[in-house]
C-alpha cells in the first residue's frame, strides 16, 4: 500500500476488493472505495444493485467472500460498536414496549456490558443524545406514538448514545414529507460536522446534491465513487441505472432482476 | 379468613402452594420473551411434544423423575430442531413444519402412553394434577426456577436487544443464535417444571397470559418480566385455592384465574384497554381549528 493511501485511510473507512455472495451469486463484486470521516455519503443504484448488502456487510452482518474493510487503519472483522446500522423503518416492531428514552438507552447496553450497572455517565450520554436529536419533549413516549421523522431521530439518538463513528442508514429519507426530510438533512449535517461518517442508501436522485457530499454508485460492481460534483454525472447515472442488475444465470426469486 | 388460611395448615398443601407460586413466577417471567419474540406457536408445540418424551421415559425408566425429565427434554428438542431443519431444507415455513411435527409427536405420545406398563393416567399429564406433586417434583421445580429466572435476568439486556431487532443486535456483536438457544432451553425446562400442575394442553396459558396482561398495561420491558412473574405467581396461588376449595382440576383453575386477569386488562387497561379506545370518541374539531387562529395571529 502506498504512503498516500495509508495516510488517507488513517482517518476514515477503506474498503478493498469486497465481494459478498448469496448462494454463490455475487451481490457485490470486488468493491473498493475510500471515504474520510466527516462526510455524508449517498449510496445509489437500482433495486437489487447491492445497496442494502453493502450496508449489511459494513455492519458485519454478512460474511465476505473476498476483501477487507478497514476503519482508521485497522481491519474490521465482524460486528463493531464503532458502526451503527439503522434498519429500514418497516423492519421494526413499533409496538415493542419501550419509550424513546428506553430505545436510546439500548445504545448504552453494549458499553455497559452485561453485568455492570447503568451509571451516571450512561444517563448523561443518553440525555445528550436525546438533546442532540431534539427529542426531549418526546422522551417518555412509546415509540409507535412518533411520526416517521421522529422515529428516524430516535434511532439516530441510539446510535449517538452508542458512540458510533460510522452511521449506516438504509433508506432514511423514504416516506418522509418535505419538512421532515429537511430536518433529517440538517441533523445528518450536524453529525457530519462532528466528524461522523454517514453512509445512506438513497432513491431520490434530484435531492442528492443538496444532502450529500460524496456518492457511491453501485450496480453489483462499483460504477464510481467520489465527491458529488465529480461523480454524480449523467453519464455515470445512466451507466448505473440502465444496466439490468445481475441475478445469476437462472431466474432467482430473491432478486429483483427485471423490475 | 379461615377459608383462606385453612389449606395452609396441611403440610402437603403448603408444598403444593410453594410449587405453584414458583411455577407461576417462572412461567410468567419467561412469558415476556415468548410474547415479544412471537413464540406462542413454538411454545405450544413444545409443550405438546413433551408427551411422547414422557411416554418413552416411562417405558425405559419407569416413574423415576430424572428419566421423565430427560425424556421430555429430548422430545421437545427433537421437535424444535426438526422444525428448523424441515423449514430450511424445503419450501415450507417454520410454523407449518412445527404444526405438522408437534401434532405427530403428540399423537405418538397418546399411542405410546397406552402401551406403558406402569399405571399412569393420560388425563393426568394432559390436564395436570398438582395433588400428585411429590417432594422430588418440588425439588425439581426449585432447581429449574433457580436456574431459569437468574439466567434470564442476567441476560436481559442482550435479550432485549435481540427481541427488539435481531439484525441490529447481531450488528452490535450480540450472539443472537446462542441467545435464542438459551431461551429455548429455558422454555423447555420451565415447561417440564410446570407439567405436573398444569398439564401439556394448558401450559401455554400459564406462560403467556401474565406477560400478555402486562403488555396491555404498560410500555416497560422490565415490568413485563417482573410483573409477568408476579401475576403468574398470584394467579397460580389463587387458582390452586379455588381448585382446593371447589374440588376442581388445578391446571384449569389456574389458567381460568389468569384468563380473568387478562380480560380485565384487555377491557379496562388505562392505556391500551378496549373501553378507553371506545371512550375516545370526542371530536377534536375545535383543537384543529385553533391551529389556524394561532397562525393567522402570527401573520398580523
Res B5 pLDDT > 90: no
Whether residue B157 and residue A83 make contact (CB cut-off 8 A), yes or no, is no
Is the Cβ–Cβ distance between B238 and B257 less than 8 Å? yes
DSSP secondary structure of B246-282: HT--HHHHHHHHHHHHHHHHHHH-TTT-HHHHHH---
d(CA A106, CA B180): 19
Res A257 pLDDT > 50: no
Q: Is A78 on the interface with B (CB under 8 A)?
A: yes
Close Cβ partners of A78 (under 8 Å, ≥ 6 residues apart): A60, B173
In a mutational test of the B interface, the residue from A77, A99, A106 whose CB has the highest number of chain B CBs within 10 Å is A106
Q: Is A118 on the interface with B (CB under 8 A)?
A: no
DSSP state of A133: T
Of B106, B112, B84, the C-alpha closest to B96 is B84
Res B88 pLDDT > 70: yes
Note the pLDDT tens digit of each residue in A206-241. 999 999 999 999 998 899 999 999 999 999 999 888
Whether residue B172 and residue A81 make contact (CB cut-off 8 A), yes or no, is yes
Would you state the pLDDT for residue A249? 65
Whether residue A81 and residue B171 make contact (CB cut-off 8 A), yes or no, is no
Q: How deeply is A235 buried, as exposed, middle or buried, from its count of CB atoms within 10 A (0-12, 13-18, 19+)?
A: exposed
Note the pLDDT tens digit of each residue in B187-215. 999 998 888 888 888 899 999 999 999 99
Q: Is A81 on the interface with B (CB under 8 A)?
A: yes
Res B1 pLDDT > 80: no
Q: Which chain A residues are within 8 Å of B222, Cβ to Cβ?
A: none
Would you state the pLDDT for residue A27? 84
Would you state the pLDDT for residue B118? 65
Measured at the alpha carbon of residue B213, what is the angle toward residues B209 and B215, in degrees to the nearest 5?
Answer: 115
Would you state the pLDDT for residue A77? 80
- Phi then psi for residue A216, to 5 deg, are -120, 120
| For A58, nearest residue in chain B (alpha carbons) | B171
Is the Cβ–Cβ distance between A43 and A200 less than 8 Å? yes
- pLDDT > 90: percent of chain B: 39
Q: Which chain B residues are within 8 Å of A60, Cβ to Cβ?
A: 170-171, 173
d(CA A168, CA A203): 15
Would you state the pLDDT for residue B288? 79
**CB crowding B75-99: b at 16 or more within 10 Å, else e:** bbbebbebbeebbeeeeeeeeebbb
Note the pLDDT tens digit of each residue in B97-125. 999 999 999 999 888 888 876 666 777 78
Whether residue A85 and residue B215 make contact (CB cut-off 8 A), yes or no, is no
pLDDT band at B142 (very low <50, low <70, confident <90, very high): very high
| For A118, nearest residue in chain B (alpha carbons) | B157
d(CA A121, CA A108): 10
d(CA B250, CA A68): 61
d(CA A130, CA A124): 10
| Three cell numbers written together for B264 | 380485565
Note the pLDDT tens digit of each residue in B7-37. 777 888 888 999 999 999 999 999 999 999 8
Q: Is A115 on the interface with B (CB under 8 A)?
A: yes
Find the helix packing angle between B250-268 and B11-37, rounded to 10°.
50
How many Å from the N-terminal Cα to the C-terminal Cα in chain A? 40
Is the Cβ–Cβ distance between B266 and B216 less than 8 Å? yes
pLDDT band at B298 (very low <50, low <70, confident <90, very high): low
pLDDT band at A4 (very low <50, low <70, confident <90, very high): very low
Nearest neighbour of B173 by CB, restricted to A79, A106, A142? A79
Tell me the nearest-neighbour CA distance from B240 into chain A, angstroms. Answer: 31
Nearest neighbour of A91 by CB, restricted to B158, B161, B165? B165
Res A115 pLDDT > 70: no
Q: Which chain A residues are within 8 Å of B179, Cβ to Cβ?
A: none
Would you state the pLDDT for residue B280? 65
Q: Is A109 on the interface with B (CB under 8 A)?
A: yes
How many Å from the N-terminal Cα to the C-terminal Cα in chain B? 72
ipTM score over 0.90, yes or no: no
Q: Which chain A residues are within 8 Å of B161, Cβ to Cβ?
A: 106, 109
Q: Is A85 on the interface with B (CB under 8 A)?
A: yes
Strand partners, A142: A99
Q: Which chain A residues are within 8 Å of B172, Cβ to Cβ?
A: 79, 81, 110, 162
In a mutational test of the A interface, the residue from B32, B157, B223, B270 whose CB has the highest number of chain A CBs within 10 Å is B157
Tell me the nearest-neighbour CA distance from A66 into chain B, angstroms. Answer: 19
Res A58 pLDDT > 80: yes
Note the pLDDT tens digit of each residue in B60-72. 877 677 777 888 8
DSSP secondary structure of A69-122: EEETTEE--S--TTEEEE--GGGS-TTSS-BHHHHHHHHHHHHHTTTSPP-HHH
Whether residue A162 and residue B168 make contact (CB cut-off 8 A), yes or no, is no
Would you state the pLDDT for residue A113? 56
Res A7 pLDDT > 60: no
Q: Is the dihedral of CA A138, A141, A145, A146 positive or negative?
A: positive
Would you state the pLDDT for residue A54? 93
pTM > 0.90: yes or no: no
| For A110, nearest residue in chain B (alpha carbons) | B172
DSSP state of B218: -
Determine the average pLDDT of the residues in B169-181: 87
Res A252 pLDDT > 60: no
| Three cell numbers written together for B277 | 379506545
Would you state the pLDDT for residue A128? 92
Q: Is A167 on the interface with B (CB under 8 A)?
A: no
Torsion angle (degrees, nearest 10) of CA A223, A226, A232, A234: -40
d(CA A250, CA B217): 52
- Out of B15-29, B153-167, B266-280, pick the least confident: B266-280
Measured at the alpha carbon of residue B182, what is the angle toward residues B176 and B183, in degrees to the nearest 5?
Answer: 90
CB pairs under 8 A between A and B: 70
Nearest neighbour of A80 by CB, restricted to B154, B173, B215? B173
Amino acid at each position: 500500500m502506498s504512503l498516500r493511501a495509508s495516510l488517507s485511510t488513517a482517518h476514515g473507512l477503506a474498503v478493498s476488493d469486497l465481494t459478498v455472495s448469496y448462494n454463490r451469486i455475487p451481490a457485490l463484486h470486488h468493491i473498493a472505495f475510500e471515504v474520510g470521516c466527516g462526510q455524508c455519503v449517498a449510496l445509489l443504484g437500482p433495486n437489487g444493485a447491492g445497496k442494502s448488502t453493502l450496508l449489511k456487510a459494513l455492519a458485519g452482518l454478512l460474511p465476505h467472500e473476498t476483501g477487507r474493510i478497514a476503519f482508521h487503519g485497522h481491519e474490521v472483522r465482524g460486528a463493531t460498536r464503532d458502526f451503527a446500522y439503522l434498519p429500514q423503518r418497516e423492519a421494526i416492531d413499533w409496538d415493542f414496549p419501550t419509550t424513546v428514552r428506553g430505545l436510546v438507552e439500548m445504545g448504552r447496553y453494549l458499553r455497559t456490558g452485561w453485568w455492570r450497572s447503568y451509571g451516571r455517565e450512561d444517563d448523561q450520554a443518553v440525555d445528550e443524545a436525546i438533546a442532540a436529536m431534539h427529542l426531549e419533549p418526546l422522551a417518555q413516549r412509546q415509540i409507535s406514538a412518533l411520526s416517521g421523522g421522529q422515529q428516524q431521530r430516535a434511532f439516530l439518538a441510539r446510535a449517538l448514545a452508542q458512540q458510533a463513528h460510522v452511521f449506516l442508514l438504509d433508506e432514511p429519507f423514504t416516506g418522509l414529507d418535505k419538512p421532515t426530510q429537511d430536518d433529517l438533512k440538517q441533523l445528518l449535517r450536524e453529525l457530519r460536522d462532528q466528524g461522523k461518517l454517514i453512509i445512506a442508501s438513497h432513491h431520490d436522485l434530484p435531492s442528492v446534491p443538496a444532502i450529500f457530499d460524496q456518492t457511491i454508485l453501485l450496480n453489483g460492481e462499483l460504477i464510481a465513487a467520489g465527491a458529488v460534483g465529480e461523480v454524480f454525472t449523467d453519464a455515470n447515472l445512466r451507466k448505473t441505472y440502465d444496466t439490468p442488475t445481475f441475478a445469476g444465470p437462472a431466474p432467482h426469486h430473491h432478486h429483483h432482476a427485471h423490475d | 379468613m379461615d377459608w383462606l388460611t385453612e389449606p395452609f395448615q396441611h403440610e402437603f398443601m403448603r408444598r403444593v402452594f410453594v410449587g405453584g407460586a414458583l411455577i407461576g413466577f417462572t412461567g410468567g417471567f419467561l412469558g415476556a420473551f415468548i410474547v415479544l419474540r412471537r413464540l406462542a406457536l413454538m411454545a405450544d408445540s413444545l409443550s405438546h411434544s413433551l408427551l411422547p418424551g414422557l411416554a418413552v421415559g416411562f417405558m425405559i425408566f419407569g416413574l423415576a423423575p430424572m428419566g421423565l425429565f430427560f425424556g421430555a427434554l429430548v422430545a421437545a428438542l427433537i421437535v424444535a430442531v426438526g422444525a428448523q431443519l424441515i423449514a430450511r431444507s424445503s419450501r415450507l415455513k417454520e410454523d407449518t413444519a412445527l404444526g405438522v411435527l408437534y401434532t405427530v409427536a403428540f399423537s405418538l405420545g397418546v399411542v405410546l402412553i397406552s402401551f406403558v406398563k406402569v399405571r399412569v393416567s393420560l388425563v393426568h399429564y394432559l390436564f395436570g394434577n398438582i395433588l400428585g406433586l411429590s417432594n422430588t417434583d418440588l425439588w425439581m421445580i426449585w432447581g429449574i426456577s433457580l436456574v431459569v429466572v437468574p439466567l434470564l435476568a442476567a441476560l436481559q439486556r442482550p435479550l432485549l436487544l435481540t427481541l427488539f431487532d435481531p439484525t441490529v443486535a447481531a450488528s452490535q456483536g450480540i450472539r443472537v443464535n446462542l441467545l435464542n438457544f438459551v431461551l429455548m432451553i429455558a422454555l423447555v425446562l420451565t415447561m417440564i417444571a410446570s407439567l405436573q400442575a398444569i398439564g401439556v394442553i394448558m401450559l401455554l396459558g400459564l406462560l403467556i397470559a401474565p406477560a400478555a396482561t402486562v403488555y396491555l398495561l404498560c410500555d416497560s420491558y422490565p415490568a413485563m418480566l417482573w410483573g409477568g412473574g408476579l401475576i403468574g405467581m398470584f394467579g397460580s396461588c389463587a387458582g390452586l385455592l379455588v381448585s382446593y376449595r371447589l374440588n376442581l382440576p388445578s391446571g384449569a383453575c389456574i389458567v381460568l384465574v389468569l384468563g380473568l386477569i387478562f380480560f380485565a386488562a384487555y377491557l379496562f387497561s388505562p392505556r391500551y384497554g378496549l373501553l378507553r379506545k371506545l371512550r375516545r370518541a370526542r371530536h377534536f374539531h375545535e383543537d384543529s381549528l385553533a391551529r389556524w387562529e394561532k397562525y393567522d395571529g402570527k401573520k398580523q
